Amino acid sequence: MIVDAVQPDTPIVFVNPSFEKMTGYALQEVLGRNCRFLQGEDRDQPGRAVIRAALRDGAACECVLRNYRKSGAMFWNKLYFFPIRRAGGDISHFVGVQHDVTLERELLADLERTASERARLIGELELQRRQLEQLSRDLLTVQENERKALARELHDELGQRMTVLNLLLHRTLPHLEAEEGRALWTKAEQELGGLIELVRGMSASLRPPGLDFFGLEPTIRQLLARQFEGGPAWIFEYAGLPQRLAPAVEIGVFRIVQESVTNIVRHADARHVVVEINGGADGSELELVVRDDGAGFDAANWRERAARAGRTGLAGMGERIQLLGGQFQVDSTPGQGTRIAATLRLQPAPPGQHG
Ligand SMILES: Nc1ncnc2c1ncn2[C@@H]1O[C@H](COP(=O)(O)OP(=O)(O)O)[C@@H](O)[C@H]1O
Ligand SMILES: [Mg+2]
């Protein structure tokens, strides 16, 4: 488009066929008009001030305007506008080079919308993930509290009453006359002794009574001694950590050792077991390793396989560690034993959390 810079109101003196195609106006329809008609009623546009200033100063400019085709359809017009000077230096014309950038703009706007929608969705997902995580943590706490209550009931209620029964049984012994009666009595006593042991064991594995009082080290030592009583040989090392850790860490680590030990008893047929718990390089981390030299298993994709087989032991360990913000690793090869490892960042535990 070329406009006359000398005549009043800078009328159009030429447009090329591309202009005709872009705007829908023929050359004859626009000759002599000021090009602002392309804006229709839509006059409140920042680009207009840019053009006015360029006209006034005789300078080149660039802006994007909302223009309207003859059909009334809006389009974005990217305008490059520059003066043509006569030999003496006076401006005779302005040339406007125009590009329809509507598609470009719409794509860009689309992209921005998509990006912000995606950001919103990601934010929402992240929030839900955190809520789920919190829920899982709460559930673990609830579960532990229930176990604690159950363990106490088993130990205090059932355990005590069976002990009383045992005493009663003993007091009846001198009054038993017949040989047959004594034999039955002995059987009953053995049965009851076994039951008392069973209840003690159930109570201890539901919630180890020592954990709240003494902390991890002695409680795990007791667990290993009890579970590996008839073999395998075991070593337990606890180093570089304070006596007490945050309750959530203590119960979490205990449960992982407990489940690992159960797995070893159930699946490994091992000769040696090593349990190591240490404070990492500078005591700010907790590193846990449980390894055995037993049967091992194919640990590739163990998560998927466990999920498919409906096994929750290893997966539960991983989840606990994840909820504590740590890392969990399972290594195993058939015939070469199994290694369970977990690493946790430790926050200094405020005093008085235990009990
Ligand atoms: N220490 C181990 N030695 C050998 N196999 C193991 C050991 N720990 C786990 N496994 C294998 O991994 C599987 C998944 O373990 P887990 O998730 O605890 O489920 P579960 O103990 O109920 O079978 C076990 O079934 C077993 O095949
Ligand atoms: Mg298991």
Tens digits of residue pLDDT in 217-270: 999 999 999 999 998 999 999 999 988 898 889 999 999 999 999 999 999 999
Q: Is the CB of 270 under 6 A from ligand 1?
A: no
pLDDT tens, residue by residue, 73-97: 999 999 999 999 999 989 999 999 9
Q: Range with the lowest mean pLDDT among 150-164, 285-299, 327-341? A: 150-164
Q: Is the CB of 295 under 6 A from ligand 1?
A: yes
Q: Is the CB of 314 under 6 A from ligand 1?
A: yes
| Residue 9 identity | D
Residue 273 CA to ligand 1 centre (angstroms)? 15
Q: Range with the lowest mean pLDDT among 27-41, 85-99, 203-217, 255-269? A: 203-217
Closest Cα to atom 26 of ligand 1? 267
Q: Is the CB of 263 under 6 A from ligand 1?
A: yes
Residue 338 CA to ligand 1 centre (angstroms)? 9
Burial class (CB in 10 A: 0-12, 13-18, 19+), 87: exposed
Query: Which of 267, 291, 331, 332 maximizes ligand 1 atoms within 8 Å of its Cβ, making it the mutation to test the pocket?
Result: 267
pLDDT tens, residue by residue, 170-194: 888 888 888 888 888 889 889 999 9
Average pLDDT over the chain reads 91
Radius of gyration (C-alpha) of the chain in whole angstroms = 42
What pLDDT shows up at residue 210? 84
CATH number for the segment(s) 2-100: 3.30.450.20
Percentage of residues in the chain having pLDDT higher than 90: 63
- Report the predicted TM-score, pTM, of the whole model to 2 decimal places: 0.66
pLDDT tens, residue by residue, 103-139: 999 999 999 999 999 999 999 999 999 998 888 888 8
The pLDDT-based confidence of 3 (bands split at 50, 70, 90) is very high
On the question of pLDDT at 350 being above 60, the answer is: no
Q: Is the CB of 296 under 6 A from ligand 1?
A: yes
What pLDDT shows up at residue 209? 80
What pLDDT shows up at residue 354? 58
On the question of pLDDT at 63 being above 80, the answer is: yes
What pLDDT shows up at residue 122? 95
pLDDT tens, residue by residue, 271-301: 999 999 999 888 889 999 999 999 999 999 8
What DSSP string describes 254-306? HHHHHHHHHHIIIII--SEEEEEEE-TTTSSEEEEEEEE-S-----TTHHHHH
Taking the C-alpha atoms of residue 231 and residue 150, their distance in angstroms, rounded to an integer, is 29
What pLDDT shows up at residue 348? 64
Q: Which ligand is nearest to the CA of 319?
A: 1
Are the C-beta atoms of 155 and 209 separated by less than 8 Å? yes
Residue 289 CA to ligand 1 centre (angstroms)? 16
Q: Is the CB of 338 under 6 A from ligand 1?
A: yes
Closest Cα to atom 22 of ligand 1? 311
Domain range summary for the chain, segments of one domain joined by +? 2-100, 115-207, 210-355
On the question of pLDDT at 37 being above 80, the answer is: yes
Tell me the HSE value of 324 on the side-chain side, using a 13 A CA sphere: 31
Q: Is the CB of 306 under 6 A from ligand 1?
A: yes
Q: Is the CB of 268 under 6 A from ligand 1?
A: yes
> For 322, phi and psi rounded to 5 degrees?
-60, -40
Residue 314 CA to ligand 2 centre (angstroms)? 6
Q: Is the CB of 258 under 6 A from ligand 1?
A: no
The residue assigned the tokens 């159950």 is: 150
The residue assigned the tokens 């012994």 is: 173
On the question of pLDDT at 351 being above 80, the answer is: no
Are the C-beta atoms of 55 and 9 separated by less than 8 Å? no
Residue 163 CA to ligand 2 centre (angstroms)? 32
Query: What is the topology classification, in CATH, of domain 210-355?
Result: Heat Shock Protein 90 (3.30.565)
On the question of pLDDT at 7 being above 70, the answer is: yes
What pLDDT shows up at residue 83? 95
